[in-house]
Amino acid sequence: MSWWVYILRCGDGTLYTGTAADVERRLAAHRRGRGAKYTRGRGPLAVVYREACPDRGAALRREAAIKKYRRAEKEALITDYAERRSRMKKAAFIGTGNMGAPLIQAACRAVGAEQVVVANRTRAKAEALAAEIGGWAVQADVADPVQVGRMVDNVLDKFCQLDILICNAGIAQQKLFGDLTDDDWRRMFAVNVDGVFHAVRAALPHFIHRKAGRIVTVSSMWGQVGGSCEVAYSAAKAAVIGLTRALAKELGPSGITVNCVSPGVISTEMNAHLDREALAALAEETPLGAIGTPEDVAEAIWYLSSDAARFVTGQVLAPNGGLVI
């Protein structure tokens, strides 16, 4: 769990520096007279600065450092924070997965290029994709909750706001069920399911505080109907759909929409192993007679991220050419 250093401006003009895992809850305690002794009777109280830290120990160290600042130095921190918030615009956070640039471009349409944050397990890939659109790159393995928590904290520290979370990071594997190992199974769920859980959990306090947010997960048609020789992948993607629907019901009262995009056969790195004949057969089997493109998936994600989908939640949008109906 992330921790924060915050500065309060008291009614008498003085400043108080503290730490908290939940700044809003701590502020409420201060206002009730149950926070620090210093703030009692000094209302009204307002948070004028906050800074994300990876853990409680780091927050305490940063608090000690700020408390040693002269008044002018503290005011400079507050001024810089206020200026960043005044420039605040919508921000989208994306695990890029296999859709790459088209997905990022869809996010750009929804929020504007400068506010798109691209996350990938490989820093070079994240930076290359971000460079295409002038976005911001971060490196992390979504299977690691600590790395994901730090990513979200960094986004909030930079942009002061997060509006859209797109959970697209994923892996696939073709293997007979009898040949699957424990490691195969665990890694499939660690990335495809745990990764969504970690990202949503890290971003959720911010969404709930704002009573707004768009969460878009990415499943697969195999999560809907199951795929032979892809049992682990199918099970993981089915779990993403279940998570999406349940979360939509839970978060709806907080003004947060949660939807899922479930692509069919798409021309991405994940399907690079298919030869021309296999792709032709799949295209023939698809009612629309073609293999999908990353742009087709990106358009669906863009719609669910946009204001046009403000009354849409708990739904599975399936750009699959009619292959699964």
Lowest mean pLDDT segment, chosen from 130-134, 220-224, 250-254, 308-312:
130-134
How far is Cα of residue 143 from the mean position of the Cα atoms in its chain? 13
CA distance 189 to 94: 19
pLDDT tens per residue, range 241-266: 999 999 999 999 999 999 999 999 88
Among 19, 52, 86, the domain boundary falls at 86
Q: Are 98 and 71 members of one domain? A: no
| Domain presence at residue 172 | yes
CA distance 168 to 89: 22
Q: Which domain holds residue 178?
A: 92-317
Q: Are 154 and 279 members of one domain? A: yes
CA distance 104 to 117: 9
- At residue 318, the pLDDT reads 96
| Domain presence at residue 325 | no
233 carries an active-site annotation: yes
CATH number, domain of 18, equals 3.40.1440.10
Task: Measure Cα distances from 139 to 73, 124, 172 in Å.
Answer: 32, 9, 20
| Domain presence at residue 77 | yes
Among 86, 102, 137, the domain boundary falls at 86
| Domain presence at residue 295 | yes
Q: Give me the number of domains the chain comprises.
A: 2
Name the catalytic one among 16, 49, 233, 303. 233
Q: Are 15 and 130 members of one domain? A: no
For 58, the token pair is: 């780091």
- At residue 298, the pLDDT reads 83
pLDDT tens per residue, range 301-325: 888 988 889 999 999 999 999 999 8
Q: Are 126 and 7 members of one domain? A: no
| Domain presence at residue 110 | yes
What is the pLDDT confidence band of residue 127, given thresholds at 50, 70 and 90? confident
Q: Are 76 and 179 members of one domain? A: no
